[in-house]
Amino acid sequence: MVPLRERFQAFLNGDNLVANILGKVEARTGTKKYYLATGSVCAMGLYLMFGYGASLLCNLIGFVYPAYSSIKAIESLDKKDDTIWLTYWVVYGIFSVVEFFSDIFLFWFPLYYVGKCMFLLWCMAPFSWNGSQVMYNRFIRPFFLKHQHTVDSMVNDLSEQARSTAETVTREVLHTLASSEAHQSAGQTEQAAASSSHTEQ
């Protein structure tokens, strides 16, 4: 438990968004960052168990900070942080698909959103054995390498079918528009001829 507490303290004293916000609050209130963070975590845990809109809060936790860090990674010259956050988003995307089906059965458990939030926090944690690295290296990467050629083939086939369908639809739309313009032009010619005949009479 001591190493975990030390990591928590190091995170709060590091250069990151959460530490910066807590530092500003500490300067205004005089309350130490550690107590602010612990109190916030406890309040958030209680809200995730009993509060209204726990799903939205949980999704915001899993999205806002990683999105901010991803933008910083894109803008930085170091490519290592790009890989870290790309790995997170791959895991997050797969987790979201799995959750879409499991959510129907699990959302009513009292600790469901607490567990989901803890999982997402583990996936974005600033150490090498965080959830996204573990999930990617143990499950996603081996599965991808094993089935990469099959998936590539399926994607290529789907792309060809989509391109063929788009070309067919485009041709039909253009043909319909051309036919419509031809009918409209013929109607205008007939109307002009009828008007001219009526004028001569």
Helix axes 112-124, 33-50, angle to 10 degrees: 140
Question: Which amino acid, one-letter code, is at 2?
Answer: V
- What span, in angstroms and rounded, lies between the C-alpha atoms of 113 and 199? 81
- Highest mean pLDDT pick, 98-102, 129-133, 178-182: 129-133
Please give the average per-residue pLDDT across 58-63, as a whole number. 88
- What span, in angstroms and rounded, lies between the C-alpha atoms of 145 and 142? 5
Give yes or no for a contact between 33 and 26, defined as CB atoms under 8 angstroms apart: yes
Kindly tell me if the per-residue pLDDT of 198 is higher than 60: no
Handedness of CA 88, 91, 97, 103 (dihedral sign): negative
- What span, in angstroms and rounded, lies between the C-alpha atoms of 14 and 127? 13
Kindly tell me if the per-residue pLDDT of 1 is higher than 50: no
List the domain boundaries for the chain. Answer: 1-51, 55-182
- What span, in angstroms and rounded, lies between the C-alpha atoms of 48 and 114? 6
Q: How confident is the model at residue 177 (pLDDT cuts 50, 70, 90)?
A: confident
Kindly tell me if the per-residue pLDDT of 59 is higher than 60: yes
